[in-house]
Amino acid sequence: MRRVGVCLSGCGFLDGAEIHESVAVLTALDRAGLQAVCCAPNIAQAAVVNHWTRRPAQAGGPRNVLEESARIARGDIRDLAEVRPEQLEALVFPGGFGAAKNLCDFADRGSDCKVHPAVERLVGGMLDAGKPVAAICIAPAMLARILGKRGIRARLTIGNDPQTAAAIERMGVTHVQCTATDCVVDEEHRILSTPAYMLAKGPAEVFQGVGRLVEALARMIG
């Protein structure tokens, strides 16, 4: 079975991976007959947020991105540092603020952000091998940084937010407006993206957009 990496960034949209988006990816991959290989960096979260109050958590101490991501993966997850491009046919990044806080620091530094080295290594290896990379919701901002540093002017979407669109264009990619139920496919550079909760009104729209992205991904890898 063809294997697709799913890089998570924690558990919960305010400080980790967006759960609906992550589940949509896993469901769509399974329906397409593709094996998901969940992975996450073994690092401390940049922040911990109480998802009930939407304020910084007052107790419990720091959390680990890999350990929190394991909640979504039902424990079947790998340390990102151990994942190699030759083990995968494609790579997908669900959104959630963890993508902008833990996988990179776009949430704090915008277009001057830095990407976590393990993330940049794996994405770079996929690009070098000509294998597709997909990003969802805010995750295209992280991907834009890697692409821009390599001089790859790929087409990406984060929906229609002008400030975020301008930020990723400053990093060297071309932003394309897109609805939550659709996706943007850059066939030349083998890059896919969909806005998901950057625009979606609910899970149904997220699942539709992610479903289209995974369908395009499956066609791309044959």
Give catalytic residue positions: 137
Contact status, residue 177 vs residue 160, Cβ threshold 8 Å: yes
CA distance 17 to 102: 10
As given in the structure block, the two tokens for residue 93 are: 């990044």
Give the β-pairing of 133-136 and 191-194: parallel
Q: What is the DSSP letter of 15?
A: T
Torsion region of 151: left, alpha or beta (phi above 0 gives left; psi -120 to 50 gives alpha)? left
Q: Which residue bears the tokens 């790579």?
A: 91
Q: Which residues pair with 194 in a beta bridge?
A: 136
